[in-house]
Structure 1
């Protein structure tokens, strides 16, 4: 199976970038209604509809949800690319639809999506509300889970650019987790199924993004939805779509989300999961905070008349301006910056720093500055 060929054929061209709201999804949902069951199962805090898609007639039931955190849209894009495959009428699509029944909530948090925030409109993190169920979105997710009674759950998320694959210097473009079901992080039959499936996904992704797949932390938190569903005995797989070099719009990463979804269901449909894959799973390096967006090294600064060489880092903030996401770089740390890499690194080789306010970088200021060799940086990047 040529995954890249499949992706190029079924990529949904009408959605792209990081800012994805229900406005962009509604036409796609209406199109899907011709080949699937489409329901409005309830409303968000601000009254936006929350949709459920159900497609397929197979015995194995797959439950997927995306944009539980409103500003995490990459897996939503990958999910709609996968829906295009399912409705294609191809022999592979027919096999999947005969094997599985898919139930998906493609945008669980439409208010957070519109506001471009992790939380819902009540400023609650839905992924910490799986026990108290204080929010309508959390209640709808849990009710759908109980009615559908899935055999597998797919918890689809994004993660920030700060995460890398252990301390290898590679970004964590995709990370996965088979959540724990207890404090001891033991492996029972249910969790083992998730582990074995992730081992198979990783084997495939290593062919495309070698060294860029991480394993998310498995500390147990019953308030997290994945841990809750694993605790309830349903194999649950966490997807974390992360950074690929230069891909701040996550249009490259969405391709690997698609690969991971297709691989998951191909392996399950062919009963070709990695048996006893615990070692393969544990050999996936840990997902760690090891990156800045920008790292500037060997900068000469004048601090109260004393010259010294230092380093500093800048990080993008994603800000909505005129309905679009704008990436603005701010200085966030000054010092040795040990054990952190930069997605972009610049060695000033002792050149002196200056900006409009003086001779030293200031925390929380825009990364606009010059070096004495007449190199100007605007919003973190060398001005062209």
Structure 2
């Protein structure tokens, strides 16, 4: 199969972390007529929740992104996927003959507008699968029931704190085959989820070896992925994570795109059985050993340098006048790991690092 030139596929006009429907509408409205756009319902603040449906195949795939409004990397990836699948070539035609795909690019448009995880009623939609208290949750349930998918792709972002296993590799992409019961047993649908993840992992390992993790599979019936797995629909959780210096996640989006395309290829060419549950279980679980900035060799009480003193800093993402700012703050671990990694490590014995701290107004965090 011919290798794709992702740079020609990426919709670079849609970039950065702050994404709402204003950023997508021009692209969506220019899609070919075979891509059927539908308003599936309204958010708390009456913004339209849109879907795009295309393809004519028997394998039905439902994807939704930005269930959490501040998790936009996978939204960019599905836009790239749409950009690829609108072209007329042999592989695209084969996918569209085998699959019918429905994508909700932003399920939580109110949260997307103000860059919050929750919706306008301050409810986490991914904890509302059973009570269905929110209009956005009810939209997703109705779409699921009407579309009757054979596969569900639940698309999210994860924090920069995650590493792969106990290594110093960041979890650039993580996957999960959600559990369907408290004991986290396997079922036919869950095993299919695992096999598809193994297929995507095999592709990503070619490009970001060691940077693919497995997300925690603790069971929660209120989570949408677990709820759909309980209904015997193979469901996959995608978590877009950190790549070196890619805080806008415009590199990670490419890996999510390639994972999505690999999943579609695997379904199209009936290759799921080529991958095993064992392949999935070999993916290391995520650790929580990273911080954005690790400052070493500082003892601010005695005003001298010692090798044992460290300061961990994590960015808070703050929206200000439609611009996303990364504001540093001291970080406290839920459970401090044996070893801590920094996406950027600064040594107070190094004058250049001290100058960087000064120029970025971080010295005030050390006192």
The interval holding the TM-score normalised by the smaller chain is: over 0.9
Contact persistence 1:171–1:244 (CA under 8 A)? yes
CA distance in 1, matches of 2:181, 2:356: 57
| Whole-angstrom distance in 2 between the partners of 1:62 and 1:50 | 18
1:105 is matched with which residue?
A: 104
Contact kept, 8 Å, 1:32 with 1:38, in 2: the verdict is: no
Check the 8 A contact 1:74/1:158 in 2, yes or no. Answer: yes
* Equivalent position of 1:363 in the other structure: none
Matched with 2:342 is 342
Counterpart residue number, 2:228: 229
Please, which runs of 5 or more residues in structure 2 have no aligned partner? none
After superposition, the Cα gap between the structure-2 partners of 1:25 and 1:306, relative to the gap in structure 1 and judged at 3 Å, is closer
In structure 2, what is the equivalent of residue 30 of structure 1? 29
Q: 1:91, CA displacement in angstroms?
A: 1.4
Alignment CA distance shift 1:3-1:18 (3 Å): farther
Alignment of 1:132-281 (within 5 A): 132-275=131-274, 277-281=276-280
TM-score by length of 2: 0.93
Contact 2:162 2:170 in 1 (8 A): yes
Partner of 1:81: 80
Alignment check: 8 A CA contact 1:316 1:329 kept: yes
Corresponding residue of 1:127: 126
Deviation of 1:33 (Å): 5.7
The secondary structure found in structure 1 opposite 2:299 is: strand
* Distance in 1 separating the partners of 2:304 and 2:233: 61
The structure-2 alpha-carbon separation of the partners of 1:73 and 1:375, relative to structure 1 and needing over 3 Å to count, comes to closer
CA shift at 1:197, angstroms? 0.7
Per the alignment, in what secondary structure is the counterpart of residue 328 of structure 1? strand
1:199·1:274 contact (CA, 8 Å) conserved in 2?
Answer: no
Q: 1:275 to 1:152 in 2, by over 3 A?
A: same
Q: How many residue pairs align between the two structures?
A: 360
The whole-number CA distance in structure 2 between the counterparts of 1:332 and 1:316 is 9
> What is the CA deviation profile of residues 83-106 of structure 1, one whole-angstrom value per residue up to 9, with x for unaligned ones?
011111111111111000001111
Structure 1 gaps of 5+ residues are: 352-369
CA separation of 1:318 and 1:146: change in aligned 2, threshold 3 A: same
Question: Of Structure 1 and Structure 2, which has the larger fraction of its residues in strand?
Answer: 1
Q: Distance in 2 between matches of 1:374 and 1:68?
A: 37
Question: CA offset at residue 223 of structure 1?
Answer: 0.3
Question: 2: distance between equivalents of 1:374 and 1:258?
Answer: 35
Residue in structure 1 matched with residue 325 of structure 2 by the alignment: 326
Asked if 1 retains the 8 angstrom alpha-carbon contact of 2:297 and 2:305, the reply is no
Whether the aligned pair in 2 keeps the contact of 1:178 and 1:191 (CA below 8 Å) is yes
Greater helix share, 1 or 2? Answer: 2
> Structure 1 residues 377, 84: CA separation in 2 closer, same or farther (over 3 Å shift)?
same
RMSD of aligned Cα (Å)? 2.2
Q: Normalized against structure 1, the TM-score is what?
A: 0.89
